[in-house]
Chains A and B, each alone.
Chain A
Amino acid sequence: MPAVNHSVRAAFGALLALALAAHAALAAPSGPPVRIGSTLALTGPLAATGLVHKIVGEIYVEQLNRKDGLLGRPVEWVLKDDQSRPDLARTLYEQLITVDKVDLMMGPYATANILSAMGVAQRYNKVLIHHTFGTPSLAKYDMQFPAGGLAGDPDNTIPKVVFDALAASAKPPKSVAVVTSKFPSVHFISLGAREAAKKRGLREVAFLEWDFGNRDFGPIAARLKDAKPDFVWVGGLGLEGNLLIDAMRKIDYMPPLHFHLFPAPGPLLKAPGGENALAATTFEEHPPFTDNPVAVEFIRLYHERGAKAGLPDTSVENQSAISYSSWQTLEAAVTGAKSIDDKAIAQWLKRNPVDAIVGRLRWDGPFNYIYGSDLYKVKQNQNGKWVVIWPKEFAASGARLITP
């Protein structure tokens, strides 16, 4: 009997293995690949962030091909380096469409390059899904789909969520200083912050601007010290916030609260004086964001690949999350439309939301933007870790705005 049992068990096991193998064979993508073309700033001044998007794209394409690809076909990502130049981005997208004959397009990194790619997409009636377009009012193409979680009016929505967070704190600020880069996609949001502060009755004690590329923040720090604001809105990009903090520390000054619009999150986290700094984000590595198993798996892979690629900060946050969400959008649209036809994909996206790791993305507004709400939250550097503190439902467990 035991011998029989053993034989039966062995036969059953063999059958199961066969079935699984057959299933795997069936699920493996086959046929000609679906070719997705894009450029990224892999060299040039924007290369540091471009690399983040490259790693995310590679992870996603691998994940797709481990499943059943797109519509059962393997996926091939044709990636080119636009060298951070819009004129090159435009020409390379033309190459992707007219020479490489890609089926689908994914956007490049940064506003100017996306706008260049958008012009090409429009001429060839291609869908363009993108993640980092900072000036929505410039997007006038009906088949462009922003997947970065930004509203059509970020100059309204981002200041709103920031000032809401401040208003809900134990000690809301009474005065504000707005300091900002004149970089296009940052400047207009900072102007929105001025308006929002004014409407909420905050006293503006300083409004200062600098040209993009400025490295001397001493004069701005000195003016802030004189103005003594309760809260400083820093409309900065990348390391500009760090430079401002350094300049303020040199004159023994640090405002009680300071918010940074699009900082380099890793360096700001580690910067002396960066404690309790606030910033905008769509995703951080804590619940409720990590309640999603897809996000958890992505975080694991990103840590692994990021370390291998030598990234200084391998945590998943805003930039990598919106990049991943863009790929999720592309997959959902092709799967939903059951087609790689651009018109079909565009129609599907206009009618259907996509649940991405940054939240629910929708495109049913003018030029596929939603006005009045976005997926941006407020995070704070607490004990050397970024944690979302507002809105409450997205806040890390027990986290709330720390005020001095």
Chain B
Amino acid sequence: MRGRALAGFAAAGLALSAVPFFGLPAFYESFLYLVLHWIVLAVSWNILSGYSGYFSFGHGAFFGAGMYTTATLATKAGVPFLWTLPAAGLVAAVFGVALGAVVFRLPRLRGELFALLTLAVTFVLATIVLNTSIDGGPGLVLSAVPLPAIGPSPSSTFYLLGLALALATLWIAREIQRSKLGTGLFAIHDDEDVAEVLGVPTYRYKLAAFGVSCGLAGIAGGIQAMFVSYVTVGETFSIAVPLYVVLMSVLGGSRHWFGPAVGAAVVTALLYAFTAGDYAVAGRAAVGLILILVILFLPEGIFGQAVRALERRRVSAAPAIDAADPPAPSAATPGKAEGKTLLEARGLSKAFRGVQALAEVDLEVRRGEILGLVGPNGSGKSTLINLVSGHFRPDSGRILFEGRDLAALQAHRIARTGLARTYQIPRPFAHLSVLENVALPAMFGRDALPRGEAGHEARRWLAFTGLAAKAMSLPGELNLHQRKFLELARALASRPGLLLLDEVFSGLTHAEIDDAIRLIRAIRAQGATIVFVEHVIRAVMELTDRIVVLSYGRVIAEGDPRAVMREPDVVAAYLGKPHA
């Protein structure tokens, strides 16, 4: 598949690089260069912002950093133009990574705050460039910088440079989308916290995507500096670049590597189609109207819509997997001594703004058992699950999993030790198909399966949970029962050593609860170790080997389910103390 794609790229590259030799007027090369230039900017922007949802309005800053790097090196240091291009990319990439290293550490800087911050960075950079010797006000002129004769004319040289960079950018965007990095970025797009808990190293992935995105924009800036030959702060660091790339990506479809390229070509061609002097304003208005209509009627973008339709067609053709062929989860791992301690919490405490959610909790989970974690609302059950899965960090205490302390580990590292969890309210990745939702933890869990294998694993777990027919649906198309099972399939696909189930039965009907009990018994039958937070006492009694009862963040009882549920403290915790 990859080899065919590479051959396709090479063939397209060869065919398109022949354009300058067709004897076309130079204008066509310049026009095509502009199309390619915007393709690079839009596709590179999409690598971070489209894939991960971190909308950057700072693409102009990184593009500008590249422009000024080339302009400065070529005019002030006499560096040959082509040699300035790697430097332009590097400066922009380093700038982006440095910014990301700070910004991505702060969870509150997501969404619109990230967009505004990157926009502000553009203006800060413009101010620095304008008020230092980099520019100082008059701008930098590259008219005297020699342009290497790559093509038969200057226009063809720009075209060939643009073509090479556009092909490289498209290839990089494609490879990222089809890699673990891409899968992780799309998960970040939908729910970054869940992605991290499922094993995606979100910080590192965002940083990598930002660096690549900025670097490519920087190289495009370097070429553009030579193309316009006069670089000024006002023209370079304008809002136009980020606005255009956002528009192009949305128009083409930001969830596919090729979408922004389609958008860039369409927008550039449209803008060019209406340059006749007589009706300039009407032409621009027409362009705006066309874009509004396309965005309204094709919300996933031109290319995105087409890809979605193709994918759905492919679903029906996908081979079915027999539900009677359940995979063996790592949780089962027969052979390892049952009954030995798998997870141990000691002195675990957590407070939220003065409210003590957990206080000095000690807990032990033995290999192969189903441990029920019960208690009234607000007793600290979900907090305990969140601490163990790394969603929160404990204020004090230790969590030992197979002898390894999890308290200091980031959530994605905890996932890789073999812990998986479900959420009380299902939190699937809304824009990933059911299949992709389940394949992701297989890729990022303990066994870190390759992409293809992860897909196969996911299909087996979907068959196991009865969701095979929904593989290519979006989670929004599932009912609550199915979404709960999707949570379960997702947790199982990571082949966990320990499965943390947070209120799997809440909101289900009686019949659905029966289904779920059967499913968990099937998992149990393979020897899985499960911690089971639940309010449905029938399920607790039917499924658990032991239970631990929490009340006001403390363990008040533990042991055999039937015996523990009769203890007066437990009864009081659930029903209140009787008044004489």
A285 located at the interface, meaning its Cβ lies under 8 Å from any Cβ of chain B in the complex: no
CA distance A222 to B31 in the complex (A): 49
Contact of A135 with B284 at beta-carbon distance under 8 Å, contacts A79-B278, A81-B277, A116-B228 already known = no
B37 to chain A, nearest CB (A): 8
List, in ascending order, chain B residues with CB within 8 A of A78's CB: 277
Proximity string of chain A (85-96) to chain B, C-beta cutoff 8 Å, 1 when within and 0 when not: 111101110110
B143 touches A87 (CB 8 A): no
B232 touches A99 (CB 8 A): no
B234 touches A213 (CB 8 A): yes
Q: CB within 8 Å of A: which of B483-518? A: none
B547 located at the interface, meaning its Cβ lies under 8 Å from any Cβ of chain A in the complex: no
A212 touches B144 (CB 8 A): no
B228 touches A43 (CB 8 A): no
B27 touches A99 (CB 8 A): yes
CA distance A99 to B27 in the complex (A): 7
B154 located at the interface, meaning its Cβ lies under 8 Å from any Cβ of chain A in the complex: yes
CA distance A88 to B235 in the complex (A): 12
CA distance A242 to B234 in the complex (A): 21
B224 touches A184 (CB 8 A): no
A83 located at the interface, meaning its Cβ lies under 8 Å from any Cβ of chain B in the complex: yes
A331 to chain B, nearest CB (A): 20
List, in ascending order, chain B residues with CB within 8 A of A82's CB: 275
Q: Which of B131, B154, B229, B233 contacts A212 (CB 8 A)?
A: B233
B126 located at the interface, meaning its Cβ lies under 8 Å from any Cβ of chain A in the complex: yes
A173 located at the interface, meaning its Cβ lies under 8 Å from any Cβ of chain B in the complex: no
B271 located at the interface, meaning its Cβ lies under 8 Å from any Cβ of chain A in the complex: yes
A291 to chain B, nearest CB (A): 33
Q: CB within 8 Å of B: which of A147-201? A: 182-184, 187-188
Stretch from B133-141, B450-458, B550-558 contacting the other chain: B133-141
A99 touches B224 (CB 8 A): no
Q: Which of A42, A54, A82, A212 has the most CB of B within 10 A?
A: A42
Contact of A123 with B154 at beta-carbon distance under 8 Å, contacts A90-B30, A135-B138 already known = yes
A225 located at the interface, meaning its Cβ lies under 8 Å from any Cβ of chain B in the complex: no
A182 to chain B, nearest CB (A): 4
A140 touches B232 (CB 8 A): no
Contact of A138 with B30 at beta-carbon distance under 8 Å, contacts A83-B271, A94-B155 already known = no
B229 touches A94 (CB 8 A): no
A112 located at the interface, meaning its Cβ lies under 8 Å from any Cβ of chain B in the complex: yes
A258 to chain B, nearest CB (A): 22
Q: Which of A87, A116, A184, A211 contacts B34 (CB 8 A)?
A: A87
Proximity string of chain B (215-256) to chain A, C-beta cutoff 8 Å, 1 when within and 0 when not: 000000000100111101111000010000000000000000
A383 located at the interface, meaning its Cβ lies under 8 Å from any Cβ of chain B in the complex: no
Proximity string of chain B (24-46) to chain A, C-beta cutoff 8 Å, 1 when within and 0 when not: 01111011011001000000000
Q: Which of A78, A88, A91 has the most CB of B within 10 A?
A: A91
Q: Which of B26, B127, B137, B234 has the most CB of A within 10 A?
A: B137
Q: CB within 8 Å of B: which of A64-111? A: 78-83, 85-88, 90-92, 94-95, 97-99, 111
List, in ascending order, chain A residues with CB within 8 A of B283's CB: 43, 81
Q: Mostly helix, strand, loop or mixed at chain B's interface?
A: helix
A98 touches B278 (CB 8 A): no
B277 touches A40 (CB 8 A): yes
A138 touches B25 (CB 8 A): no
A115 located at the interface, meaning its Cβ lies under 8 Å from any Cβ of chain B in the complex: yes
B277 touches A184 (CB 8 A): no
B234 touches A212 (CB 8 A): yes
Q: Which of B25, B31, B137, B155 contacts A182 (CB 8 A)?
A: B137
B409 located at the interface, meaning its Cβ lies under 8 Å from any Cβ of chain A in the complex: no
Contact of A188 with B27 at beta-carbon distance under 8 Å, contacts A40-B277, A115-B230 already known = no
B234 to chain A, nearest CB (A): 5
Q: CB within 8 Å of A: which of B26-75? A: 26-28, 30-31, 33-34, 37
Contact of A98 with B27 at beta-carbon distance under 8 Å, contacts A112-B230, A119-B143 already known = yes
B474 located at the interface, meaning its Cβ lies under 8 Å from any Cβ of chain A in the complex: no
A188 touches B143 (CB 8 A): no
CA distance A82 to B224 in the complex (A): 17
- Count of A residues near B, CB < 8 Å? 42
List, in ascending order, chain B residues with CB within 8 A of A119's CB: 143, 229
List, in ascending order, chain A residues with CB within 8 A of B28's CB: 99
A162 to chain B, nearest CB (A): 20
A357 to chain B, nearest CB (A): 24
- Report the nearest A residue to B29, measured CB to CB: A94
List, in ascending order, chain A residues with CB within 8 A of B127's CB: 211
List, in ascending order, chain A residues with CB within 8 A of B240's CB: 85
Contact of A87 with B155 at beta-carbon distance under 8 Å, contacts A42-B277, A43-B284 already known = no
CA distance A256 to B30 in the complex (A): 52
A95 touches B31 (CB 8 A): yes
CA distance A94 to B28 in the complex (A): 9
B139 touches A95 (CB 8 A): no
CA distance A81 to B141 in the complex (A): 24
A182 touches B130 (CB 8 A): yes
A54 touches B277 (CB 8 A): yes
List, in ascending order, chain A residues with CB within 8 A of B37's CB: 87
B232 touches A184 (CB 8 A): yes
A115 touches B141 (CB 8 A): yes
List, in ascending order, chain B residues with CB within 8 A of A115's CB: 141, 143, 229-230
A87 touches B227 (CB 8 A): yes
List, in ascending order, chain A residues with CB within 8 A of B7's CB: none
Proximity string of chain B (468-485) to chain A, C-beta cutoff 8 Å, 1 when within and 0 when not: 000000000000000000
Proximity string of chain B (11-35) to chain A, C-beta cutoff 8 Å, 1 when within and 0 when not: 0000000000000011110110110
B234 touches A98 (CB 8 A): no
A94 touches B26 (CB 8 A): yes
CA distance A188 to B126 in the complex (A): 19
A91 touches B228 (CB 8 A): no
B98 located at the interface, meaning its Cβ lies under 8 Å from any Cβ of chain A in the complex: no
A152 to chain B, nearest CB (A): 15
Proximity string of chain A (28-67) to chain B, C-beta cutoff 8 Å, 1 when within and 0 when not: 0000000000011011000100000010000000000000
A81 touches B230 (CB 8 A): no
B138 touches A88 (CB 8 A): no
Q: Which of A47, A79, A112 contacts B235 (CB 8 A)?
A: A112
Q: Which of B28, B31, B280 has the most CB of A within 10 A?
A: B280
List, in ascending order, chain A residues with CB within 8 A of B275's CB: 39, 80-83, 88, 92
B217 to chain A, nearest CB (A): 15
List, in ascending order, chain A residues with CB within 8 A of B131's CB: 182, 211
Sample of 18 A–B contacts (CB below 8 Å) = A42-B277, A43-B284, A79-B278, A80-B276, A82-B275, A86-B235, A88-B34, A91-B27, A94-B30, A97-B26, A112-B228, A112-B235, A116-B228, A123-B154, A138-B141, A140-B143, A184-B139, A211-B233
| Pairs A-B, 5 closest by C-beta atoms | A79-B277, A98-B25, A81-B280, A42-B280, A95-B27
Known: A85-B235, A94-B26, A112-B139. 15 other contacts (CB 8 A): A39-B275, A40-B277, A42-B277, A43-B280, A80-B275, A81-B275, A83-B280, A87-B224, A94-B27, A94-B155, A95-B25, A112-B230, A140-B144, A182-B131, A211-B233
